[in-house]
Structure 1
Amino acid sequence: MSLLTTAAAALGLLAAGYALGRYRPAHRLSDWAHWQKYDRTMRRHSARWWVVYVLLSVENLTQVAAWLVRNPRKAWHAWRVSKGRNDPPLSPALTFDPDWAAKRRAASNTEEAQQP
Structure 2
Amino acid sequence: MTLTHALAGLAILTAGYLIGRYRPAHRTSDWAHWQRYGPRPTGLRNAAVWTVLSAENIGWLITHPRQGRHAWKRHNDPPPRRSPAVRINTRDDQET
Tell me which interval the TM-score lies in, with the shorter structure as reference length. 0.5 to 0.7
By relative contact order (CA 8 Å, sep 6+), the higher-ranking structure is: 2
- Correspondence list, 1:5-84, <5 A: 5-43=4-42, 46-68=43-65, 74=66
Instruction: Tell me the alpha carbon deviations over residues 48-99 of structure 1, each in whole angstroms, 9 at most, x when there is no partner.
Output: 011101110000000110113xxxxx47xx68xx7xxxxxxxxxxxxxxxxx
Higher helix share: 1
What is the TM-score when the length of structure 2 is the normalising length?
0.64
Aligned residue for 1:42, secondary structure, equals coil
Q: Percent identity?
A: 44
Deviation at 1:41, TM superposition (A): 4.3
Give the ranges of 4+ consecutive aligned residues of structure 1 lying more than 3 Å apart after TM superposition.
none
Q: Distance in 2 between matches of 1:42 and 1:4?
A: 50
Count of aligned pairs: 70
Q: Which runs of 5+ in 1 are unaligned?
A: 69-73, 83-116
What is the TM-score when the length of structure 1 is the normalising length?
0.54
Q: Max radius of gyration: which structure? A: 1
